[in-house]
Amino acid sequence: MAQRIIGIMGALPEEINGVVNLLQNKKEHRFGKRIYYTGTINNQDVVVVYSRIGKVAAAATVSTLILKFNITELIFTGVAGGIASDLKIGDIVLGTELVQHDMDATPLFPQFEIPLIGKSHFKTDSEFLKLGENSIQHILENSYLHQVIDTEDLDQFNIHHPKLHLGLIASGDQFFKDSEQKNNLLSNLPDTKCVEMEGAAVAQVCYEFGIPFIVIRTISDEADQHSTIDFMKFTEKISNIYSIEIIKNIIK
């Protein structure tokens, strides 16, 4: 049986710095202008890296994790803009499937379909999905996050009773900054929970190499004209802590 090695990715250093700090026996490896951190979390071999923003950067990074570091599964963690009306800042979306909302090779291929693959939606492995769901629910129960995040920081973003949502995540090389973008997306992909810039590219690469994956997104904004307000502070003070606690619960 192949050695189990879990890859852990985020797009920004602020999204995975806390996870890097969890590593025991940490070593740095430099490839393709990125630093890959190897080590263990709870005696489990892991490789942690931030990819930078966008689908190409994410695809290059996960390909390196698979081909160079021989990961057997992947966790992607970070922030996203909320699309579904029931999402609030501080909620968590666990992707059941992912789609590239800016893929459009019509009329040669149907909209959203990846040419020559015959798929538009990439589904998360059901067992991995259940593990992620149970791990996230554990940290959302009994106001656990209020024990590890300053109340002042939670209050700033009006986070009181965050919830977990499962559903479709849409990815594209666009930062959503107004309601028109949001409404256009919903008209084409009405089941979308949230929008971000890497997850579906990662899902496609993992699908092609047969690597189970999960994509976990903390809602940082509502994908409208207010989406840039304190974005980096949210990433550092809120979603970074979410990522630490979720990873610790998944890797037990």
208 is catalytic: no
CB 65 within 8 A of CB 221: no
Q: What is the CA radius of gyration of the chain?
A: 17
Query: Which neighbouring-strand residues pair with 195?
Result: 81, 170
Q: Residues 97, 198, 221, 236: which is the catalytic one?
A: 221
How many C-beta neighbours within 10 Å does residue 186 have? Answer: 16
Q: 20: how many CB neighbours lie within 10 A of its CB?
A: 20
Q: Are 7 and 65 in contact (CB under 8 A)?
A: yes
Examine the residue annotation and report whether 221 is marked as an active-site residue of this protein.
yes
**218: number of Cβ within 10 Å:** 26
Catalytic residue among 15, 196, 222, 236: 15
- Residues labelled as active-site residues: 15, 221
